[in-house]
Amino acid sequence: MKPRVFVSRHFPGEGIALLKKSCDVRIGVMKGTCPRKKLLQGAKWADAIVTLLTDKVDAEVYDQNPRLKIVANYAVGFDNIDLAEATKRGVLVTNTPGAQTESVAEHAIGLMMVLGKRIREADAFMRAGKYKGWDPDLLLGTEFDGKVCGVIGVGRIGSIFVKFAKALGMSIIYNDVVRSPDIEQKYDAKPVDINTLLKQCDVISIHVPLMPSTRHLINAGHLKLMKKTAFLINTSRGPVIDETALVSALKRRQIGGAGLDVYEFEPKLVPGLAKLDNVVLTPHIASATWEARDSMSRIAAQCVLAAFKGEVPEALVNKDVLQKNPWIKTGA
Ligand code: GLV
Ligand code: GLV
């Protein structure tokens, strides 16, 4: 019998075709979010499930099926997955690191550019037929060269963002739970505490995973420390910023603007956010490039196939699960 893979929702890229070569694959839904009931049924039937960041994967899911070997999350973030419960049951959890690094860092730069160059307002202005001739006062924006860029979280995505910002002539300071000698050497980036970073920066871009310690990492008090002209960019996870506090800071022009791809109560926005003219909003599409989606798709599939072969998937997140897994070759 072929191994069974349940994919909660169809996604672009070659991964599903790769799985179909050697596995029995069922797709939960072609569009939209997989209903909970379908996800549970899928978990019951399958040896592996491939999930999206919109699927909540918890004890109830694992308990459908003691044979469940692996949950491969089609995302770099895995805050939708209860890792401890997976580990307890010997279920491997994988993500897709590296697949979306450039796409997400480029998107963050894009949000920053749209804010600084006022592209959103300028585009609306043109479409409204308001352009009557060159005007030296029209839509004045910001130059980034020579400004200070603060990066919170310098993992894969954060360090590529640092590289881009440096190429724009910005000087770099960063905050992370671990030092990164690599970006300190390559880009002359200085590690600072979060308050110093918020006070000194013209642009702040967030690249941390969502965990209990990063929930509301940016709160009302932090927003008060920021320069009146500073831009806050978030392409990580919404709950990292207290969005209600952010809306209030933006309303009072306490900060210069915000470029957001993720939201605290996604897909809902905190009331008032979409009315502000000093924000740029995109619908969680920082990793939505053909390149990233294909790579995410292949990595997710390869993780499943590796697990079926009894190998350790490269993108294993809950590494401590290996002690619990008699069927996996730990290589040790
Ligand atoms: C997207 O947000 C991801 O985590 O890959
Ligand atoms: C994700 O790829 C990260 O480590 O930033």
What local confidence, expressed as pLDDT, does residue 329 receive?
A: 59
Cα–Cα distance between 273 and 228 in angstroms, integer? 18
Do 115 and 212 belong to one domain?
yes
> What's the average model confidence in pLDDT over 133-149?
97
Is residue 9 part of the annotated active site? The answer reads no
Token digits for 65?
A: 């099926």
> What's the average model confidence in pLDDT over 169-177?
98
Structure confidence at residue 93 as a pLDDT band (50, 70, 90): very high
**With contact defined as beta carbons under 8 Å apart, do 264 and 241 qualify?**
yes
Q: How far is the CA of 312 from the centre of ligand 1 (A)?
A: 22
**Mind listing the pLDDT tens digit for each residue in 58-76?**
999 999 999 999 999 999 9
Do 295 and 230 belong to one domain?
no
**With contact defined as beta carbons under 8 Å apart, do 235 and 206 qualify?**
yes
Residue 329 lies inside a defined structural domain of this protein: no
Say which residue the tokens 């999350």 belong to: 73
Do 141 and 211 belong to one domain?
yes
- Please tell me the pTM assigned to this model: 0.94
Do 134 and 252 belong to one domain?
yes
Do 54 and 168 belong to one domain?
no
- State the CATH number of the domain containing residue 60: 3.40.50.720
> What's the average model confidence in pLDDT over 87-112?
97
**Mind listing the pLDDT tens digit for each residue in 237-286?**
999 999 999 999 999 999 999 999 999 999 999 999 999 999 999 999 99
Residue 331 lies inside a defined structural domain of this protein: no
Is residue 298 part of the annotated active site? The answer reads no
> What's the average model confidence in pLDDT over 76-90?
97
Residue with CA nearest ligand 1 atom 3: 75
pLDDT, averaged across the chain: 96
Region of poorest pLDDT, from 133-142, 215-224, 317-326: 317-326
Kindly name the residue from 9, 118, 156, 237 that is annotated as catalytic.
237
Do 9 and 155 belong to one domain?
no
Q: How far is the CA of 153 from the centre of ligand 1 (A)?
A: 15
- Strand residues in the chain grouped as ranges (E): 4-9, 24-29, 48-51, 70-73, 92-94, 148-152, 171-175, 190-191, 203-206, 231-234, 257-260, 279-281
The whole domain housing 19 covers 4-99+290-324
Do 210 and 235 belong to one domain?
yes
What amino acid is encoded at 224 in this protein? K
> What's the average model confidence in pLDDT over 97-107?
97
Q: Could you give the C-alpha distances from 264 to 221, 234, 256, in angstroms and in order?
A: 17, 11, 20
> What's the average model confidence in pLDDT over 283-302?
97
Q: Which atom of ligand 1 is nearest to the CA of 237?
A: 2
Cα–Cα distance between 232 and 238 in angstroms, integer? 12
Residue with CA nearest ligand 1 atom 1: 75
Do 171 and 248 belong to one domain?
yes
What local confidence, expressed as pLDDT, does residue 323 receive?
A: 85
Residue 12 lies inside a defined structural domain of this protein: yes
> What's the average model confidence in pLDDT over 26-35?
97
Residue 45, helix vs strand vs coil: helix
**With contact defined as beta carbons under 8 Å apart, do 305 and 313 qualify?**
no
Do 134 and 207 belong to one domain?
yes
326, pLDDT greater than 90: no
331, pLDDT greater than 50: no
Do 35 and 163 belong to one domain?
no
Residue 83 lies inside a defined structural domain of this protein: yes
Looking at the chain, the whole-number percentage of residues with pLDDT higher than 70 is 98
Residue 124 lies inside a defined structural domain of this protein: yes
Residue 222 lies inside a defined structural domain of this protein: yes
Is residue 266 part of the annotated active site? The answer reads yes
Do 28 and 124 belong to one domain?
no
Please state the domain count of the chain: 2
Do 123 and 246 belong to one domain?
yes
Residue 257 lies inside a defined structural domain of this protein: yes
Structure confidence at residue 332 as a pLDDT band (50, 70, 90): very low
